[in-house]
C-alpha cells in the first residue's frame, strides 16, 4: 500500500502515518473496505461522476463518523483504474482544495482514454484518404 498524504489548505502537503496499512496488519485483514468502515469512515461519495467503463468512479470521499483523532475525510483516488491512492483532509476547506487538485488529473486521464479509444478509427480513416 502506498503512503498516505494529507492536504491542508494553509500548510500544503503533510505526510501521514498510514493508519490503513497499520489496521490491516494489526487485525490481519485483507479487505481494505472493511478496515475503512471499522476505523469509522462511511459514505463513499463519488465526487467525479464520469461515463467511463475503465475508470468507474475515480474519486470517492469517506467521512469520519466518530470522535476519533483520525482525519475527518478519507479520499480514495484511482485515476487510471488500477492502483488506489489514499489522501486525507482534516476540514472542508482542505477537502475542497484537495479535490481541486485531483479532478484535473482525472480529466486528463479521461481525455487520454477517449483519444486512445478513437485513435484506431482515425488511423483507419486516414489510410482511406491517402
pTM for this prediction = 0.79
Q: Residue 17 pLDDT > 80, yes or no?
A: yes
Matching residue, cell 486521464? 109
Q: How far apart are CA 18 and CA 66, in angstroms?
A: 19
The pLDDT-based confidence of 70 (bands split at 50, 70, 90) is very high
Please report the pLDDT score of residue 61 as a whole number.
93
The residue-averaged pLDDT of 57-79 equals 90
The pLDDT-based confidence of 127 (bands split at 50, 70, 90) is low
Matching residue, cell 468512479? 57
Q: Residue 82 pLDDT > 90, yes or no?
A: no
Lowest model confidence (mean pLDDT) among 16-20, 105-109, 122-126: 122-126
Q: How far is residue 35 from each of residues 56, 76, 85, 89, 124, measured CA to CA in Å? A: 22, 13, 15, 18, 48
Q: How far apart are CA 32 and CA 9, in angstroms?
A: 27
Strands (E) across the chain are located at 4-8, 12-16, 41-46, 59-64, 73-77, 85-89
Please report the pLDDT score of residue 95 as a whole number.
96
Matching residue, cell 500544503? 12
Q: Extract the C-alpha cell encoding 10.
A: 494553509
Where are the alpha helices (H) located in 7-129, listed in sequence order? 19-26, 32-38, 92-129
Q: Per-residue pLDDT tens for 23-57?
A: 999 999 999 999 999 999 998 776 655 555 555 67
Torsion of CA 59, 71, 1, 17, to 10 degrees: 150
- Chain centroid to Cα 8, Å, comes to 17
Lowest model confidence (mean pLDDT) among 13-22, 89-98, 121-130: 121-130
Amino acid at each position: 500500500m502506498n503512503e498516505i498524504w494529507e492536504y491542508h489548505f494553509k500548510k500544503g502537503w503533510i505526510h501521514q502515518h498510514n493508519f490503513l496499512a497499520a489496521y490491516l496488519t494489526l487485525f490481519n485483514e485483507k479487505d481494505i473496505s472493511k478496515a475503512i468502515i471499522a476505523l469509522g469512515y462511511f459514505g463513499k461519495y463519488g465526487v467525479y461522476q464520469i461515463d467511463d467503463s475503465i475508470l468507474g468512479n475515480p474519486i470517492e470521499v469517506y467521512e469520519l463518523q466518530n470522535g476519533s483523532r483520525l482525519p475527518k475525510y478519507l479520499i480514495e483516488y484511482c485515476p487510471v483504474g488500477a492502483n488506489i491512492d489514499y489522501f486525507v483532509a482534516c476540514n472542508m476547506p482542505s477537502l475542497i482544495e484537495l479535490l481541486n487538485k485531483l479532478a484535473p488529473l482525472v480529466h486528463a486521464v479521461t481525455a487520454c482514454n477517449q483519444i486512445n479509444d478513437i485513435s484506431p478509427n482515425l488511423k483507419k480513416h486516414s489510410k482511406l484518404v491517402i
